[in-house]
Structure 1
């Protein structure tokens, strides 16, 4: 998920992504708002493939839309996936996006507590954690860690950028300029920027790294940086 609900809260997030109009418009959203989205998906499965078996079980939190599921399933025909998302509408979009690949994917409506216990060989959480406040983010990361085999890789990517006022505004202006250059609606983009500006749930990269470590992960390494977005790979 990459679009930003009005206030950034979890309840607002669920209602936003249960809105059929918002879901129908979702397909182009991530590509317009996240520089290098296809490369991020490719790097994600490459990083997982370094350490998981050919028949790996992968947990995908925030799976609505199905874009990363499709990229991983196409690249790795032996992997099976459990995709978790709180929005039934977004899970429906994921099924349509996956097509025949959906045979290798179990889709679960809910949050991390609704995910199977595993253990899983790897996990991903892309464009999702920035919707959670610090306490819920720490808890969610710890619950992901608990469901992984020792040594399993975890890839997380979400909004993370400097939070000092002047720097924050500069990076948000760049976020907006990129989206508009990719064809995003100017009014929608300005609304997304304002929502992020008001939100207390975006952190600087150092804080996000610390949250992953506090959740039990080690060897946390930054592998992706694109304007207001960061991605990390870590080890359970």
Structure 2
């Protein structure tokens, strides 16, 4: 693994992207399905959903497959990853608008729900706080916000153990052991990984309520909260 800007712009890395999450994120497909169900609890059969970090198109396809009357705005800073999203979610592109950039480039809404899956850990703490607040500002009252990303309890010793487990899971899932170890080292050095308590505090500080943990898979955790 290299830094995010390189990994998400390199043509070969982007071409292989869709193979990655199911191998390195425990229960990835189930997590996506749960995210869609949590959105549907509040959205109903029709609605407009903001997907932050939509590059690659995997969650767009998952949500659009399951909910044929939802529309989506997907936001991602990588042009290459947005091009991949167009391919992956091709059958649904009449209902999807893609925007290159960050939360600042997302439409004003108001949206019926939002997701940010496997993205927040690329942002430093202050940018994560600002992003959560900007998502909240774009949501209708009571709308769900579903997030999932690296989140590890305990101190540095615990973090090292859990990242080693991340590497071990990737290896048994078919990732080359040397590449899995290189990914572990890069993650430890480059990503901003908070504790679950800190992650929940960011949601509360942004104005979200009733944050509930719905997913935990080794180094990854996911929450639903409400605007």
- Do residues 170 (structure 1) and 161 (structure 2) align? yes
- Per mean C-alpha deviation after superposition, the further-off stretch among 16-25 and 149-158 is 16-25
> What's 1:27 paired with?
18
Three-state SS of the structure 2 residue aligned to 1:44 is helix
Three-state SS of the structure 2 residue aligned to 1:51 is helix
CA distance in 1, matches of 2:72, 2:191: 32
> What's 1:128 paired with?
119
Q: Deviations over 1:152-193 (max 9, x none)?
A: 000000000124122111111111111011111222211111
> What's 2:128 paired with?
137
Q: Which runs of 5+ in 2 are unaligned?
A: none
CA distance in 1, matches of 2:115, 2:156: 30
RMSD: 1.1
> What's 2:174 paired with?
183
CA distance in 1, matches of 2:154, 2:192: 11
| Structure 1 residues 1-236: aligned runs within 5 Å | 5-6=2-3, 13-199=4-190, 201-236=192-227
CA distance in 2, matches of 1:136, 1:105: 26
TM-score, normalised to structure 1, is 0.93
Aligned 8 A contact 1:130 1:158 in 2: yes
CA distance in 1, matches of 2:182, 2:117: 22
TM-score, normalised to structure 2, is 0.97
Aligned 8 A contact 2:50 2:114 in 1: yes
